[in-house]
């Protein structure tokens, strides 16, 4: 049986991109961005990895209003060769990987309504651009994201996208990073969420577990609530080394024989930065 990838919606290019249509945003759309931006920037300076803040400044994301992807991409291209392209919403995996492998970050062009400031199901321009794009100005993070895209195209052949997707989820979306003896935020899903930007660092409940590639690839995730634990990387250099320099082919095969891990367990083998109050898992 061959699986047919869904076709792009009417008006989208074969690679699923659409014009951002920056002129079509209303004053209310820009005001929603400004409100979300102000809320996050009141919280993040003391919590986020400093590279995120330098990225915001270097890319001009501190200017008011929803960014124009052309101007944003011009700056980003000069820094790391990445660009930002608009898509109507979530795209099929292979389309997503293909863009990343070519240093294009796909971003929804729509913005949430004022009634949905705290939660929405589909990633909008605030999550995609504010959450993800500033770190793409960091050369090592930029390399990691491209390597991930290439790894995604490879994972399709191994039937292992779900394992690779867990790596993305537990790092790019919800990762924490060590900074001396404290932790900081870097995952985009946290950075675009007012509630989780506080919860992920301050709440005593979720364990903070040192990143381990096998462990992360076995760990399921929930998409509709705060995470029940967080994984902590040492540095972007270390994350890149632990992923780029490993052939995932044999790893996918090996993990086929190991049980998946529920999103609220800790294992005796976990190296914990913060023990939290998890459900103890199997040895």
User: In the bound complex, what is the minimum distance in angstroms from residue 134's beta carbon to ligand PHE?
Assistant: 20
Is 173 annotated as catalytic? yes
Q: Which of these segments, 85-93, 202-210, 222-230, 243-251, binds ligand PHE (CB under 6 A)?
A: 243-251
Output 160 or 188, the one with its CB closest to Fe ion.
188
Q: How far apart are CA 107 and CA 254, in angstroms?
A: 34
Q: For residue 215, give the 3-state DSSP assignment.
A: helix
- Distances, alpha carbon 277 to alpha carbons 72, 177, 265, 274, in Å: 42, 20, 10, 9
> Where does residue 155 rank: exposed (0-12), middle (13-18), buried (19+ CB within 10 A)?
buried
Ranges within 225-264 binding Fe ion (CB under 5 A): none
174: tokens are: 């919800």
| Total of residues contacting Fe ion (CB under 5 A) | 1
Is 54 annotated as catalytic? no
* Binding track over 124-163 against ligand PHE, x by CB under 6 A: -----------------------xx--x--x---------
Q: How far apart are CA 129 and CA 226, in angstroms?
A: 20
Q: How far apart are CA 59 and CA 279, in angstroms?
A: 42
Q: Which of these segments, 52-60, 188-196, 212-220, 251-259, binds Fe ion (CB under 5 A)?
A: 188-196
Residue 252 binding result from ligand PHE, Fe ion, none, given CB thresholds of 5 to 8 Å by partner type: none
Q: For residue 122, give the 3-state DSSP assignment.
A: coil
Q: Does 247 bind ligand PHE (CB under 6 A)?
A: yes
The residue assigned the tokens 């989780």 is 196
73, 98, 99, 132: the catalytic one is 132
Q: Which residues bind ligand PHE (CB under 6 A)?
A: 147-148, 151, 154, 243-244, 246-248
Active-site positions? 127, 132, 173, 192
């Amino acid at each position: 049986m061959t699986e047919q990838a869904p076709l792009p919606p009417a008006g989208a290019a074969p690679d699923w991109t659409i014009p951002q249509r920056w002129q079509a945003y209303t004053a209310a759309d820009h005001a929603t961005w400004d409100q979300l931006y102000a809320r996050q920037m009141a919280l993040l300076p003391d919590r986020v990895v400093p590279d995120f803040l330098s990225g915001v400044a270097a890319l001009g994301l501190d200017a008011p209003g929803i960014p124009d992807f052309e101007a944003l991409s011009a700056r980003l291209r000069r820094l790391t060769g990445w660009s930002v392209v608009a898509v109507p919403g979530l795209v099929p995996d292979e389309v997503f990987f293909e863009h990343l492998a070519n240093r294009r970050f796909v971003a929804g062009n729509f913005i949430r309504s004022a009634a949905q400031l705290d939660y929405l199901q589909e990633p909008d321009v605030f999550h995609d651009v504010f959450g993800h794009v500033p770190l793409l100005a960091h050369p090592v993070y930029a390399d990691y994201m491209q390597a991930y895209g290439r790894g995604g195209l490879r994972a399709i052949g191994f039937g292992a996208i779900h394992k690779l997707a867990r790596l993305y989820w537990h790092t790019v979306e919800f990762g924490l990073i060590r900074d001396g003896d404290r932790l900081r935020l870097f995952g985009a899903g946290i950075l675009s969420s007012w509630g989780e930007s506080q919860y992920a660092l301050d709440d005593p409940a979720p364990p903070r577990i040192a990143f381990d590639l096998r462990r992360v690839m076995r760990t399921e995730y929930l998409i509709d609530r705060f995470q029940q634990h967080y994984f902590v990387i040492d540095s972007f250099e270390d994350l890149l080394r632990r992923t780029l320099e490993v052939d995932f082919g044999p790893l996918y095969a090996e993990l086929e024989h190991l049980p998946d891990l529920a999103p609220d367990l800790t294992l005796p083998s976990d190296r914990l930065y913060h023990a939290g109050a998890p459900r103890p898992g199997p040895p």
